[in-house]
Amino acid sequence: MPALILIAAILLALYAVWRVRFRYPPDDLPRVLCYHKVSRSFCFEGTWTPPGWLESTIDRLLGGGYRFLSEAEYLAALDAPGAAHQRSVFLTFDDAYENVYEEAFPLLAARALPFHLFVVSDFAGRENTWDLSLGRPPHAHAGWDQLREMAAAGATVGSHTATHSDLTRVSDAVLRDELVRSRETIEQRLGIGVRTLSYPFGRFNTAVRDAARETGYDAAFSLYPPWPNARVDRYALRRNGVYIIDSPAWVERKLQPNRFFWFEEMKCRAINGVAVLTPALKRPATPTGPDS
């Protein structure tokens, strides 16, 4: 009984924080989902989704009347909020892992659905040695040929910086190099324009936000900004993270007001908060190996 009382007290406190500080996001803008790895094999970290769950989620949303937006459609919607966007989704993949090419790309292409990749430019075609290993095998990022194939099929590409560094912990010079060099590299290698940025680990501050605007990005994404969800900042856009604990039904619950929304919000804010351990404990990595 004492344990149940403690759990109830914790849940009540979390609900109170959510209700006072965050509440629901606006219902007149598209929703944004953020995936990372799409893997058939168990991954020690939580930022992965089995391909079957991704496919079931996509079909569940399509069956529920959701429409998937291109990058251009999403950016246009920011300037024209309205009820038509209540069942619109912008689908993003941070890090552009090779397993996204292998597992997500075929099922999305078969349904002719748009999706967006945020590329860590210095690590394209290389292993994610920027991440904490924790004794697990590294994951490969998609190579430039794979990225080019996805872009040719309709995927859009944004910057996830050059090295996946925590931008709040670097000098002004390094910050601008991360933003400018990554965009220029992607544009040169893929022959496309880069309009959007995703902050590594979702972390930003005023200097990072201002640099994203000043270096020419049209918009920049975080995950869960620290202010009320009703506030929409074009250079700190909110996204819904998707993790291994998120079944297709739970992913849908992220997208509309419901009795579980507050729990989902606080759960994901806690998960994203743990991500700060990576830049705190990991030294910047130097990309090695092929980048084709």
Q: CB-based contacts of 277: which residues, under 8 Å, 6+ apart? A: 132
Taking CA 155 as the corner, what is the angle to CA 220 and CA 87, rounded to the nearest 5 degrees?
Answer: 70
Instruction: Decide yes or no: CATH 3.20.20.370 for domain 2-281.
Output: yes
What pLDDT band is residue 45 in, cutting at 50, 70 and 90? confident
pLDDT surpassing 80 at residue 191? yes
> pLDDT value at position 289?
65
Q: In the predicted model, what is the mean pLDDT of residues 202-214?
A: 98
pLDDT tens digits, residue range 210-224?
999 999 999 999 999
Strand partners, 68: 89
Percent of the chain with pLDDT over 70: 94
Burial 216-254 (b: 16+ CB within 10 A, else e): ebbbbbbbbbeeebeeeebbbbbbbbbbbebebebbbbb
Tell me the pLDDT tens digit for each residue of 154-185: 999 999 999 999 999 999 999 999 999 999 99
The model's pLDDT over 77-95, given as tens digits with 9 standing for 90+, comes to 999 999 999 999 999 999 9
* pLDDT, average across residues 20-30: 96
Show Cβ contacts of residue 242 under 8 Å, excluding neighbours closer than 6 positions. 33, 34, 35, 49, 57, 251, 254
- Say whether pLDDT at 285 is over 70: no
What SS3 state is found at 243? coil
